[in-house]
Amino acid sequence: MAGLEGVEQPGQRGGATAARWVPAAEDEQALKALELFGNPTEDEVRLPSRPESAATARRLTQCVVLRQWGLTPQIAEHAVLLVSELVGNAVRHTGARVFGLRMLRRRGWIRIEVRDPSRGLPCLMPVHELDTSGRGLFLVDKLSDRWGVDLLPRGKTTWFEMRVSDR
């Protein structure tokens, strides 16, 4: 995918060393979220379709990417931002009561999925400099290496993938 000028893309990092996870006050909340909702790397985590669930999804993503997978802070930052965008779309546009979050890792890649019961497809819209909304899929398109939507018998899964360095 084409990159943003002046924005480092996930696949263009220098250095192959992953930063170590450092506990923070927010990490305690992430560990509580893992305990309460489950680990999205083991099974789909179902979250209530409310705006505050975006914070839970961000915490889960950051905890998994930094602590469990030991990836770089930049990968974590991009993954957290993109999860927030996909969750925001699921909460705002689907009318669902719950949505699902799942995170997968395979050699050289991570994949993060948000599932909702709507079969309405997200639409990548042109973005202008002064736009205050509608940038979610634009960011997903620019910061991920690939993304898409899989239609299901009841709903859809919107996903993105990012290349990562395996140690």
pLDDT digits (tens, 9 = 90+) for 119-145: 999 888 777 666 666 678 889 999 999
Task: Look at residue 26 in the predicted model and tell me its pLDDT.
Answer: 65
Given CA atoms 128, 134, 139, 140 in this order, what sign does their dihedral have?
A: negative
Task: Look at residue 127 in the predicted model and tell me its pLDDT.
Answer: 75
Task: Look at residue 56 in the predicted model and tell me its pLDDT.
Answer: 95
Contact 56, 37 (CB under 8 A): yes
Domains of the chain are 26-163 (3.30.565.10)
Task: Look at residue 156 in the predicted model and tell me its pLDDT.
Answer: 97
Contacts (Cβ under 8 Å, ≥6 apart) of 1: 141, 142, 144, 145, 146
Task: Look at residue 130 in the predicted model and tell me its pLDDT.
Answer: 67
Task: Look at residue 48 in the predicted model and tell me its pLDDT.
Answer: 96
Q: State how far the Cα of 118 lies from the Cα of 157, in Å rounded to an integer.
A: 9
Q: Which helix (H) or strand (E) holds 112?
A: strand 109-116
Contact 139, 126 (CB under 8 A): no
Share of the chain above pLDDT 70, in %: 80
User: Which residue numbers in the chain have pLDDT < 50?
Assistant: 1-21
Reading the block at residue 13, the tokens are 């990092």
Contact 109, 163 (CB under 8 A): yes
